[in-house]
Amino acid sequence: MARREACKFWLNRAVQSVVKLLGGRMHRIHFTAGDLARVRVAPTLGPMAETLFSLYALRGRAEEAVFGAWRRRVRGRLGPRFAVLGGIVPARLPSFDLALLAGPGGDLEESAETFLAKPAQAVRAELDFYAGHHGRVPAALAGLVDTLAARREVLSTLKAYHHAAVGSHWTRIRGHLDAERAQRGAVLLDRGVDGLLSSLHPSVRWSPPTLYVDAGEQFDDDFVLDGRGLLLVASFFHRMPGVMYELGDRATCILIYPAVVGAEHAAGVWAGGQPEGAGQPARTDPRVRPDRHRGRCEQHRRPGAARGNVLSGHKPAHRGAAPGGSDHHPAAPQPRPAPSHPDRTDAPE
């Protein structure tokens, strides 16, 4: 046993050395035996989180076969009202983590109520983090700390964007994410936790007892689960893995990973989207509890990400993709700086 542990130690040291030599950086999630027994898989954080993630995919031209037609349709529907969303999810990260403040929810209203009830100090902490990396907070977001009217206004704009961009497709997107979860469950049954953690994405590498998530050019970071396990959540729009963690409690974290989405999958999702309200609304996994998943999402972006104001109906001035819009899944990952911290603008210009 001691020899095995020594081998693991030196293997992990070797992996870190190679990463440094190649100039890459990693987020490292450290497991104990108890953590491995508590790995769970949820299909989604809900429609509000996916709507926010879709703002990343809306920028740039990455995965054109999957998102190209959808981007063109959505950009044609957006006007000046939606510019505030560019402050929430700007071209350069970190974003304002509204998805985390709103928590998982089976529908928009559930997440909206969670956000409206969020204490002022929780919202202030997110805005302080935002300002710490970008110099200031956009005026449209500054009132979110103390003013419910400001929160309702942002939520109203987000709901309008949801209806324009995601709502008519949500039933199919949710079905795709449910199928993704079922596939991960089959991997778990066939190959165990090792097989599950080894097959999430090319940018995620499992070298027991540590899960390495490519952090691009952001920074190295460590997450010690401390027996709480890890929740894996697939995303349709978030196209690079991201570590989401609770502020002040880094042991409680979630790994967002991209669902496999090919051109055929996308064609089935975009074609003939059902209006919202058709059939019963799908609920998120009941084990995903809003009060446990507040925090920061460390996402990833490619160099040269688009900075155009696509949220105001204007195409981006530069080619590239925001964190969620990178080419990948079956293909090898593209090098990219990771999102949650480095320099960036406050809002699209």
Residue 164's pLDDT is 96
What does R_g of the chain's alpha carbons equal in angstroms?
19
Residue 251's pLDDT is 80
Residue 296's pLDDT is 55
Residue 299's pLDDT is 52
Residue 210's pLDDT is 96
- Collect all residues with Cβ–Cβ distance below 8 Å to 22 and sequence separation of at least 6: none
pTM, 2 dp: 0.74
What are the residue ranges spanned by the domains of the chain? 36-325
Residue 3's pLDDT is 61
In this structure, what is the dihedral angle of CA atoms 242, 247, 252, 257, given to the nearest 10 degrees? -10
Q: State the DSSP string of 143-189.
A: TTTT-HHHHHHHHHHHHHHHHHHTGGGHHHHHHHHHHHHHHHHHHHH
What burial letters (b/e) apply to 4-39, b meaning 16+ CB within 10 Å? eeeeeeeebeebbeebeeeebbbbbbebeeebbeeb
Residue 7's pLDDT is 53
Q: How many alpha carbons fall within 13 Å on the CB side of residue 17? A: 6
Mean pLDDT by 10 residues, the chain (349 residues): 51 47 73 96 96 93 93 94 92 87 94 96 92 90 94 97 96 96 96 96 96 79 93 95 80 92 91 47 40 47 39 36 37 33 32
